[in-house]
Amino acid sequence: MTDQRTQAIEQILQSVVGQWQGIARTWFGPETLADESPIRGSLRRIGTSRFVIHEYESAFEATPLHGAAIYGYNQLTASFEGAWVDSFHMPTNIMLSTGNPADSTLNVLGSYAVEGNSDWGWRTEIVADGPDRLLITAYNRQPDEPEAKAVEIIYTRVNETA
């Protein structure tokens, strides 16, 4: 991996590290906002690796939910990778995702099983929108349909010295 690419990957990963709070919105279909709830999360490096772990707590319709995702960069495949679980969206399996690095964006695509249907896709995009704002957007991809926004998290950095 070139020094320039190493620096770009490092910058993407480092930009998401911190303590965060904000709003999580969940859609069921392109026009149906199903829930809007507060969310608290942390993203931290896993040792000196090129991996971060995102742990969060929120709710859906006042029912608490918890989740975790690990994101990182695989030098052998030159791609981002992710593994995600949570108590609402992924309660029975681990979704694995991969994606190519893009300008200041961590973007991965995975799939999950839907009973009686073909697997659906799930694309997650994480963007540092300045030093104190983080946007995490996930899109559902039904077979033979355009992707639709499923989850949007708008985080603001929590001042760790307060």
* 16 vs 10: CA distance, rounded Å: 10
What residue numbers bound the domain in which 52 lies? 3-157
- pLDDT above 70 coverage of the chain, percent: 96
Helix (H, G, I), strand (E, B) or coil at 14: helix
Residue 38 tokens, joined: 């507060």
- 150 in a structural domain: yes
- 9 in a structural domain: yes
Over residues 5-33, the mean pLDDT reads 90
Segment 106-120, tens digit of pLDDT: 999 999 988 888 999
Residue 4 tokens, joined: 């320039």
Q: Where are the alpha helices (DSSP H) in the chain?
A: 3-16
- Of 60, 125, 112, the closest CA to residue 88 belongs to 60
Type and span of the H or E element at 90: none
- 162 in a structural domain: no
- 128 in a structural domain: yes
- 52 in a structural domain: yes
In the chain, the number of structural domains is 1
CATH number of the domain that residue 117 is part of: 2.40.128.20
Q: What is the pLDDT of residue 89?
A: 83
